[in-house]
């Protein structure tokens, strides 16, 4: 017999567990299906020196929050795994680990059918909480690298000793690329870094962590639709900084003064040479401008509210690129780390809710298909949606929709095919 649940949550990370907490609190029967185990992504797809960029006080899930003695610190990878495991143990969700969902469709009766590694299931409502980082994105130009070069994606990188002796090329300067480049640099490796257009932010400014200022300023409460280009906001790279060793800036210019070789975006690999775009100076200037713009906003907030805060000297670039950095002979390179992000993979979802780029169309996680929801996407509603900082609020919002839909279906006799419920459940608005 096919196993049926009122709600099935696909994914047992912080998003799926947050959803389960609300459903359990409401007494709604459900199952949480996790293809691996709690904390798998943090355990298996992070490097050894990895730590959170967001401070520990931002780690807050429904009914649970960081309670250690270092709220302004940054949890390392194993600590994040332990945090999630303790969270799951705190309310005992109906979690099924090792269950992979390979197909999701909605039949003509409005019931969702799931094909899983544990057999067939059906559900009245489904929450997809699998995050956005599914398949490592490696550009096709990687096929042109000479055979002697070891290649790996950032999700496969663990530590400098994993790589063969010799110089290393890191491609990409999002958070992963910058932190991996620093990891190799601190280990004494000669690092070549292809710099993209990712912005950066100062770790601290005027006596506080920059993220603490931004939280106080209400930045993290701004919904994505308050921006003029919501679709583009969702695709922007995160600001790079680090929580390593208590937290600090990542200044690529300083790395250059210490021997790291910086280049523009990787353009081509041919005839044993890598060529780069002539945009290094522009990319570094853009990253600095974003960081200084955040400081401008903090300064204005401090002045407007008459806050006493130490005055801090502004950043001055310590290095500027010169000519002759457009090519690199690959005979010197022993390994390449592709820090080029991930592709979404929703091919298993056979429901027409995706746009031309394969992104699920939704309003705060509520799709146009009645009963189908997404949770844990970057900028699903706010900056914190895909992080510990904001997923609780998003889960509460979806719990309200799920509850209202069930109420309508059970008490008003409204057909499930009638449309997406629009009621809210005020008791769940930011329950954490």
pLDDT of residue 425: 30
Alpha helices per DSSP H over 368-427: 391-411
Q: What is the pTM of this model?
A: 0.93
Q: Distance between terminal CA atoms of the chain?
A: 37
The Cα–Cα gap between 104 and 126 comes to 9
8 A C-beta contact, residue 339 and residue 171: yes
pLDDT of residue 334: 98
pLDDT of residue 417: 38
pLDDT of residue 142: 98
Ordered by where they begin, the domains of the chain are 3-134+344-428 (3.50.50.60), 137-338 (3.50.50.60)
Each residue of 204-237: pLDDT tens digit?
999 999 999 999 999 999 999 998 888 788 888 8
DSSP 277: -
pLDDT of residue 418: 37
For the chain, what is the largest distance between any 2 Cα atoms, rounded to a whole number of angstroms? 73
The Cα–Cα gap between 183 and 176 comes to 10
Weakly modelled stretches of the chain, pLDDT under 50: 414-432
pLDDT of residue 249: 98
pLDDT of residue 324: 57
pLDDT of residue 228: 80
């Amino acid at each position: 017999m096919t196993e049926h649940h009122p709600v099935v949550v696909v994914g047992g990370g912080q998003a799926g567990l947050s959803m389960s907490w609300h459903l359990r609190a409401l007494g709604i029967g459900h199952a949480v299906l996790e293809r691996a185990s709690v904390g798998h992504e943090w355990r298996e797809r992070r490097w050894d020196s990895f730590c959170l960029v967001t401070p520990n006080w931002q780690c807050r899930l429904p009914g649970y929050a960081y309670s250690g003695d270092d709220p302004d610190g940054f949890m390392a990878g194993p600590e994040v795994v332990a945090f999630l495991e303790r969270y799951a143990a705190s309310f005992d969700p109906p979690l099924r680990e090792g269950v992979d969902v390979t197909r999701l469709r909605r039949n003509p009766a409005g019931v969702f059918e799931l094909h899983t590694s544990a057999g067939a299931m059906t559900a009245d409502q489904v929450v997809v909480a699998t995050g956005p980082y599914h398949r490592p994105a490696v550009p096709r130009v990687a096929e042109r690298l000479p055979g002697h070069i070891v290649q790996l994606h950032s999700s496969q990188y663990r530590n400098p000793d994993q790589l063969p002796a010799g110089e290393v090329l890191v491609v990409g300067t999002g958070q992963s690329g910058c932190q991996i480049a620093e990891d190799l640099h601190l280990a004494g490796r000669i690092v070549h870094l292809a710099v993209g257009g990712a912005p950066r932010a100062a770790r601290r400014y005027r006596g506080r962590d920059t993220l603490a200022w931004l939280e106080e300023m209400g930045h993290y409460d701004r919904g994505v639709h308050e921006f003029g280009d919501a679709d583009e906001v969702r695709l922007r790279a995160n600001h790079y900084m680090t929580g390593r060793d208590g937290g600090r800036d990542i200044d690529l210019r300083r790395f250059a003064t210490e021997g790291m070789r910086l280049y523009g975006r990787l353009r081509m690999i041919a005839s044993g040479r890598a060529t780069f775009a002539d945009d290094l100076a522009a990319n570094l200037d853009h990253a600095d401008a974003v960081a200084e713009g955040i400081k401008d906003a903090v300064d204005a907030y401090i002045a407007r509210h008459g806050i006493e805060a130490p005055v801090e000297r502004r950043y001055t670039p310590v290095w500027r690129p010169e000519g002759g950095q457009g090519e690199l002979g690959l005979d010197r390179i022993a390994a390449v780390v592709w820090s080029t992000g991930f592709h979404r993979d929703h091919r298993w979802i056979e429901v027409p809710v995706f746009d031309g780029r394969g992104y699920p169309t939704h309003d705060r996680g509520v799709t146009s298909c009645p009963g189908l929801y997404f949770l844990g996407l970057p900028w699903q509603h706010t900056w914190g949606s895909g992080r510990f900082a904001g997923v609780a609020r998003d889960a509460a919002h979806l719990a309200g929709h799920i509850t209202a839909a069930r109420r309508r279906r059970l008490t008003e006799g409204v057909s499930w095919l009638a449309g997406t419920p629009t009621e809210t459940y005020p008791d769940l608005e930011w329950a954490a």
